[in-house]
């Protein structure tokens, strides 16, 4: 298989020579350098992407309004989808609109976690399995004819519940870095008043409150993209739990939740919490009173998952799209790039049990990818997604076209 995440391998090699102590565990060094407090042990931008040959490219053009095929399946088809709780609100918004274009197709989404989406799609329990994570090379090789087809670009927020936190005026959220987050989840930083957090938030009043890191108990694409970010930014994390839909969690993370909405609930119920939550449920998170962190990108800027910042990551990370469409958009270059951005995939089998189902899946994809179909700014905007970059569409179209009944 091709090496999908060159940055990790390059970084791991280089990190071997770097001191392995945790960032922030040496207050003396963090106090000296304000600008780059995490450089000693955390992977810096120069290190992290030295191996990645990303050709520069412009911002993604809006999705081309490809003509939507009108071939309605000959009989009524229900497309069952199960998986990612991050893509679920989006598909829920698409479901009622689909029959206006295709009277014979019903979309029935469910939210069981990305791991379940992949499993159900492989087993044929559902026609499409939603996943925030692309398939692993072993999943591709052991399931010939399995495809992961992106339909939108999503991002993940890091939320916190820190009563007593006072931010300087003008700062909307706590500044955090991937390295610090990794150290929180590994139990190396245990209190919100830690000097390494203070170094990123000058002028902020940080309470004396234990940090309660929350993780997902189910096999989750959110876990995948979050741990990818930690892997890219913290060498101890990269050589330890690493990234995956399921990882071996350090014992410091003492609370778990099942699905994104449960993450919001668990975070609001547990003061001191820090949690990773997909942007599609950020409305719930903010109404539950959770803060949204500004994450440090490669350029050292602290950014929020806005459409512009996500597009910046896409243009840096998706400049080359491999044939299997498995692309990591984590921790990309660019002054505005938000560090946790991902393609939202639907896992589909190339060979479908009937021609009608194959037609319905093709219809759904072409409709869902079109800006005049499902990918309207309104639909994308309600869940904080953006459309796929135009350079991804040829590959997506080729995969969709290969579906047969």
User: Token digits for 83?
Assistant: 């998986």
100 binds another protein (CB under 8 A): no
**Closer residue to another protein in complex, CB, 216/362:** 216
In the complex, minimum distance from the CB of residue 393 to another protein, in angstroms, rounded to a whole number: 27
- HEC assignment per residue over the chain: CCCCCHHHHHHHHHHCCCCCCCCCCCHHHHHHCCCCCCCCCECCHHHHCCCCCCCCCCCCCCCCCCCCCCCCCCCCEEEEEEECCCCHHHHHHHCCCHHHHCCCEEEEECCCCHHHHHHHHHHCCCCEEEECCCCCHHHHHHCCCEEEEEEEEEEEEEEEECCCCECCCCCCCCEECHHHHHHHHCCCCCECCCHHHHHHCCCCECCCCECEEEEECCCCHHHHHHHHHHHHHEHHHHHCCCCCCCCCCCCCCCEEECCHHHHHHHHHHCCCEEEEEEHHHHHHHHHCCCEECEEECCCCCEECCCHHHHHHHHHHHCCCCCCCCCCCCCCCCCCCCCCCEEEEEEEEECECCCHHHHHHHHHHHHHHHCCCCCCCHHHHHHHCCECCCHHHHHHHHHHHHCCEC
Handedness of CA 168, 172, 177, 183 (dihedral sign): positive
187 binds another protein (CB under 8 A): no
In the complex, minimum distance from the CB of residue 243 to another protein, in angstroms, rounded to a whole number: 6
150 binds another protein (CB under 8 A): no
Site size for another protein (CB under 8 A) = 39
Q: Count Cβ atoms within 10 A of the Cβ of residue 368 and give its class: 0-12 exposed, 13-18 middle, 19 or more buried.
A: buried
Site string (267-296) toward another protein, x via CB under 8 A: --xx-x------------------------
- In the list 91, 219, 275, 361, the residue contacting another protein (rule: CB under 8 A) is 219
Length of the chain: 405
190 binds another protein (CB under 8 A): no
- In the list 81, 218, 222, 232, the residue contacting another protein (rule: CB under 8 A) is 218
- In the list 54, 258, 301, 371, the residue contacting another protein (rule: CB under 8 A) is 258
**Closer residue to another protein in complex, CB, 270/371:** 270
**Closer residue to another protein in complex, CB, 9/62:** 9
In the complex, minimum distance from the CB of residue 24 to another protein, in angstroms, rounded to a whole number: 21
User: Token digits for 362?
Assistant: 């093709």
Please choose, out of 28-36, 108-116, 149-157, 335-343, the segment that lies near another protein by the rule CB under 8 A.
108-116
Please choose, out of 87-95, 158-166, 266-274, 330-338, the segment that lies near another protein by the rule CB under 8 A.
266-274
**Closer residue to another protein in complex, CB, 39/231:** 231
Q: Name the nearest CA neighbour of 212 among 191, 194, 233.
A: 191
115 binds another protein (CB under 8 A): yes
In the complex, minimum distance from the CB of residue 53 to another protein, in angstroms, rounded to a whole number: 22
- In the list 2, 70, 138, 208, the residue contacting another protein (rule: CB under 8 A) is 138
343 binds another protein (CB under 8 A): no
Residue 391: count other Cβ atoms within 10 Å of its Cβ: 17
Buried b (16+ CB within 10 A) or exposed e, 61-85: eebeeeebeeebbeeebebbbbbbb
**Closer residue to another protein in complex, CB, 44/220:** 220
In the complex, minimum distance from the CB of residue 42 to another protein, in angstroms, rounded to a whole number: 22
Q: Scanning residues 197 to 216, which ones bind another protein (CB under 8 A)?
A: 210, 212
- In the list 25, 106, 265, 284, the residue contacting another protein (rule: CB under 8 A) is 265
119 binds another protein (CB under 8 A): yes
**Closer residue to another protein in complex, CB, 143/376:** 143
In the complex, minimum distance from the CB of residue 140 to another protein, in angstroms, rounded to a whole number: 12
113 binds another protein (CB under 8 A): yes
Q: Scanning residues 238 to 257, which ones bind another protein (CB under 8 A)?
A: 241-251, 253-256
In the complex, minimum distance from the CB of residue 380 to another protein, in angstroms, rounded to a whole number: 28
User: Token digits for 349?
Assistant: 């089998």
217 binds another protein (CB under 8 A): yes
307 binds another protein (CB under 8 A): no
Instruction: Give contact residues for another protein (rule: CB under 8 A).
Output: 112-113, 115-116, 118-119, 122-123, 136, 138-139, 210, 212, 217-220, 224, 241-251, 253-256, 258, 265-266, 269-270, 272
């Amino acid at each position: 298989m091709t090496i999908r995440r060159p940055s990790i391998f390059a970084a791991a090699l280089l990190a071997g020579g770097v001191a392995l102590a945790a960032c922030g565990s040496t207050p003396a060094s963090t106090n000296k350098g304000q600008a780059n407090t995490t450089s000693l042990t955390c992977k810096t931008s120069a290190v992290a992407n030295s191996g990645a040959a990303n050709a520069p490219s412009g911002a993604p053009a809006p999705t081309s309004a490809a003509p939507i095929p009108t071939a309605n399946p000959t009989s009524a088809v229900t497309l069952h989808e199960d998986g990612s709780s991050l893509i679920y609100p989006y598909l829920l918004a698409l479901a009622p609109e689909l029959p206006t274009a295709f009277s014979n197709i019903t979309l029935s989404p469910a939210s069981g976690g990305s791991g379940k989406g992949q499993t159900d799609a492989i087993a044929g329990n559902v026609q499409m399995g939603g996943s925030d994570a692309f398939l692993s090379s072993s999943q591709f090789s052991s399931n010939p004819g399995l495809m992961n087809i992106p339909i939108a670009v999503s991002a993940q927020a890091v939320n916190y519940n820190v009563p007593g936190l006072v931010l300087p005026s003008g700062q909307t959220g706590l500044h955090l870095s991937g390295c610090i987050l990794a150290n929180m989840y590994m139990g190396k930083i245990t209190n919100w008043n830690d000097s390494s957090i203070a170094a990123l938030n000058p002028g902020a009043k940080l309470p004396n409150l234990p940090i309660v890191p929350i993780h997902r108990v189910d096999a989750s694409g959110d876990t995948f993209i979050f741990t990818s970010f930690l892997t890219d930014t913290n060498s101890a994390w990269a050589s330890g739990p690493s990234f995956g839909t399921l990882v071996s969690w350090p014992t410091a993370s003492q609370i778990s939740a099942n699905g994104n909405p449960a993450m919001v609930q668990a975070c609001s119920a547990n003061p001191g919490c820090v949690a990773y939550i997909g942007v599609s449920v950020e409305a719930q998170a903010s109404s539950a009173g959770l803060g949204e962190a500004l994450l440090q990108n490669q350029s050292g800027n602290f950014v929020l998952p806005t459409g512009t910042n996500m597009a910046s990551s896409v243009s840096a990370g998706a400049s080359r799209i491999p044939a299997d469409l498995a692309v990591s958009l984590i921790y990309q270059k660019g002054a505005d790039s938000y560090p946790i951005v991902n393609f939202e995939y639907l896992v589909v089998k190339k060979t479908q049990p009937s021609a009608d189902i194959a037609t319905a899946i093709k219809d759904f994809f072409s409709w869902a990818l079109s800006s005049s179909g499902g990918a309207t700014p309104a639909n994308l905007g309600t869940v904080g997604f953006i459309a796929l970059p135009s350079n991804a569409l040829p590959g997506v179209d080729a995969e969709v076209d290969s579906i047969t009944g």
